[in-house]
Amino acid sequence: MKAGYDSYRMFGFNRNFKITERKPPPDVVDFFSLCTNGESQMSPNQFRRFLIEFQGESGDDAQRQMEQALHLFRPNFNRCFFTLDEFFTFLFLDDLNGPITSQVHHDMTAPLQHYFIYTGHNSYLTGNQLNSDCSVVPIITALQRGVRVIELDLWPNSAKDGIHVLHGRTLTTPVTLYKCLKSIKEHAFVNSPYPVIITLEDHLTRNLQAKVAGMVTEIFGDMLYCPKVGGSDEFLSPEALKHRVILSTKQPKEYLESKQMGGESSPIVGRDLFEVELFVGEDASSSFKDGTATYERINSNQDDDEDEDVENEKPDQKAAPVYNQLIGIHSGKAKNGLRKALVVGLGKGKRLSLSEQALERAASLYGTNIIRFTQKNILRVFPKGSRVTSTNFRPLTAWMHGAQMVASNMQGYGRSLWMMHGMFRSNGGCGYVKKPDFLMSRGPNNEVFDPKTTLPVKKTLRVKVYMGDGWRIDFSRTHFDAYSPPDFYTKLYMVGVPADVTKKKTRVIEDDWMPIWDEEFTFPLRVPELALLKIVVREHDTSEKDAFGGQTCLPVSELKTGIRTISLHNKKGEKLASVKLLLRFVFE
């Protein structure tokens, strides 16, 4: 970028500001000189050496990146050597020099409970929880981003002969179940080949359950996973369930009653994945004034999503067994309290579902019991009912206790959702992240990881923030300040276990579209496996709230060492076209 001048008009006068020329920071110059022995050009072998020794790339990855860089520059320069400017240009290419790998690299052959799974909440809503439209669009968007658990609320239509998807007891406008299922089939595996789980929150009559069974069978066909009779009671692996769709819902009420009475109802098909589900603090009633102004929520031991009895209807004895046979993961309700439900070894596979408040209380009282439970079973945590604007809770407590499904309102935005995006950038963005070994292991005395224990520092991350660029391309000249170029600074937040949480901040660079900070920060980490590095750029304003300039969140366990380019995103998590930071990561 050539130097020039940027003119701003203030009080009738023009003010000119010099535009900074983009040039490599001193560290980049030093690395180039060291690799080339002071020469003005870098050979392919010297470039490959830089990638291996300074960037920490493996031999194969270094060879691939070298070939990509040569292919990129050869059409323009018709030679195989890099100048310093070309070398610097390569470092600023996020697709070739990003901070994390884009390939799936975790072991995908362990049972499902060994993974954090990208999970949506009320996946059909376009906005708030009260009166927004229900649509297939947010479902498609979530699948395209790698979300693997889609949640649908099923309700009878007004004629009681069809099935709508909507948020019950609200003014949300419905979308048909058929459209939702068709959209899931068409987009389930565009981003990831690993299984999609559909949680059906069923408020249907028995006859309508039979309609669901027919609809699901027609749409998904062989894609639908149906456990085999007499199969293992263990969860299968993501690898074994590739390109499969799994239904998760409660067993039909009359089926459970038949079992309790010793009846001869249709047998459970395959694995007896009876899931224990505890509902705490969710909706019992709602009331509205002028549509959205008043929304009363009463805490009870019911969940408005999955604990509704079907409406009174003459039983259709064939409906429930057919419906039940299509359920790959059964959900239920804990009737004897949370503590008993957490006891591992009672029955076969279980899934426990908790509200965010219930998880916080359980974590404070018997957190290690939760971890023992999640070593063999699945735990789902969902947002509290009062989050009517589709905000989200911080997911770290759930992850620290091994919860596999942390349900988030993907249509919202905010810091908690940024963390979710960050976690699931791991493992090539496939939607399944292998849990750290310490969450799945036990000691010689059957002890498990205790999130309350203060651990020693395991490793230290050093982050050097060199510079940023691209705002001048993606934003209007007066977006940040009507009278002068922006005053940018960067904040770095380490989020994870409480002992690892900290934040740092660069100085403010005034009147510059291309800020150069060249500052280094140190982050001691006790549990780096669960740490996320959140990066936010803001524009300093002395009279108003500082303006937002971009953000990203990165899993520390996946960070590549060396000098890397970080793309920034808007508040909704959408990648900005041009805005990037140049940073260096070093682990000690």
The domain limits of the chain are 112-440, 454-588
**Alpha carbon distance 302, 284 (integer Å):** 7
Which CA distances in Å does 566 have to 104, 124, 212, 552, 553? Answer: 20, 31, 45, 8, 10
In tens, the pLDDT along 141-178 reads: 999 999 999 999 999 999 999 999 999 999 999 999 99
Residue in this structure with the two tokens 């509290």, named with its chain if needed:
384
In tens, the pLDDT along 214-247 reads: 999 999 999 999 987 666 778 899 999 999 999 9
**Alpha carbon distance 122, 436 (integer Å):** 28
The CB density around residue 422, as the number of other CB atoms within 10 Å, is: 24
Q: What percent of the chain has pLDDT over 70?
A: 82
For the domain 454-588, what is the CATH superfamily, name and number? Answer: C2 domain (2.60.40.150)
Identify residue 319 by its one-letter amino acid code.
Answer: A
Cβ atoms 80, 44 nearer than 8 A:
yes
Q: Cα-flanking dihedrals φ and ψ of residue 300, to 5°?
A: -155, -175
Per-residue H/E/C for 128-169: CCCCCEECCHHHHHHHHCCCCEEEEEEEECCCCCCEEECCCC
Top pLDDT among 236 and 338 is at 236
Of the listed ranges 82-96, 188-202, 248-262, 293-307, the one predicted with least confidence: 293-307
Reading the block at residue 561, the tokens are: 């060492």
Which CA distances in Å does 535 have to 207, 352, 419, 489, 555? Answer: 51, 33, 11, 11, 11
Concatenating the DSSP letter of every residue in 527-538 gives -GGG-EEEEEEE
Catalytic annotation, pick one of 106, 114, 121, 421: 121
Q: Do domains 112-440 and 454-588 have the same CATH topology?
A: no
Q: If we measure between CA atoms, which residue out of 472, 527, 456 comes closest to residue 498? A: 527
Residue 274 banded pLDDT, cuts 50, 70, 90: very low
Q: Which helix (H) or strand (E) holds 207?
A: helix 206-220
Cβ atoms 534, 419 nearer than 8 A:
yes
Top pLDDT among 386 and 343 is at 386
Residue 346 banded pLDDT, cuts 50, 70, 90: very low
Tell me the H-state helices in 457-518: 471-474
Distance between first and last Cα of the chain: 35
Residue 82 banded pLDDT, cuts 50, 70, 90: confident
- 401 as an active site residue: the answer is no
DSSP reduced 3-state for 497: coil
**pLDDT for 4:** 67
* E strand map for 295-398: 327-331, 351-355, 378-382
**pLDDT for 320:** 54
Q: If we measure between CA atoms, which residue out of 301, 400, 284, 414 comes closest to residue 355? A: 301
* CATH fold for the domain made of 112-440: TIM Barrel (3.20.20)
- 421 as an active site residue: the answer is no
Q: What percent of the chain has pLDDT over 90?
A: 68
Residue 79 banded pLDDT, cuts 50, 70, 90: low
Helices (H) and strands (E) in the chain, counts: 15, 22
The Cα diameter of the chain in Å comes to 89
In tens, the pLDDT along 428-441 reads: 999 999 999 999 99
CB burial string 454-490: b at 16+ within 10 A, e below: eeeeeeebebbbbbbbbbbeebeeeebbeebbbbbbb
Cβ atoms 293, 211 nearer than 8 A:
no
**pLDDT for 287:** 32
- Any bridge partners for residue 276, and if so which? none
Reading the block at residue 441, the tokens are: 């292991």
**pLDDT for 460:** 98
Cβ atoms 118, 149 nearer than 8 A:
yes
Q: If we measure between CA atoms, which residue out of 322, 312, 334 comes closest to residue 380? A: 334
Q: What is the mean pLDDT of residues 70-84?
A: 73
Catalytic annotation, pick one of 106, 114, 164, 167: 167
Cβ atoms 392, 414 nearer than 8 A:
yes
Residue 586 banded pLDDT, cuts 50, 70, 90: very high
> Regarding beta strands 115-120 and 405-408, do their DSSP bridges make them parallel or antiparallel, or are they unpaired?
parallel
In tens, the pLDDT along 479-517 reads: 999 889 999 999 999 999 999 999 999 999 999 999 999
Residue in this structure with the two tokens 């009559």, named with its chain if needed:
205
Residue 530 pLDDT more than 50? yes
**Alpha carbon distance 421, 419 (integer Å):** 5
Residue 264 pLDDT more than 50? no
Residue 307 banded pLDDT, cuts 50, 70, 90: very low
Q: Which residues contact 128 (CB under 8 A, 6 or more apart)?
A: 292, 388, 389, 390
**Alpha carbon distance 512, 489 (integer Å):** 11
Reading the block at residue 260, the tokens are: 């309790």
Q: ∠ at Cα 430 (428, 434), nearest 5°?
A: 85
**pLDDT for 13:** 63
Q: What is the mean pLDDT of residues 402-428?
A: 96
**pLDDT for 161:** 94
Q: If we measure between CA atoms, which residue out of 341, 395, 347, 366 comes closest to residue 117? A: 395
Which CA distances in Å does 148 have to 176, 196, 298, 318, 430? Answer: 21, 5, 31, 31, 8
**Alpha carbon distance 165, 158 (integer Å):** 12
Reading the block at residue 464, the tokens are: 């050097």
Cβ atoms 572, 564 nearer than 8 A:
no
**Alpha carbon distance 15, 9 (integer Å):** 6
pTM of the model: 0.88
Top pLDDT among 265 and 361 is at 361
Residue 472 banded pLDDT, cuts 50, 70, 90: very high
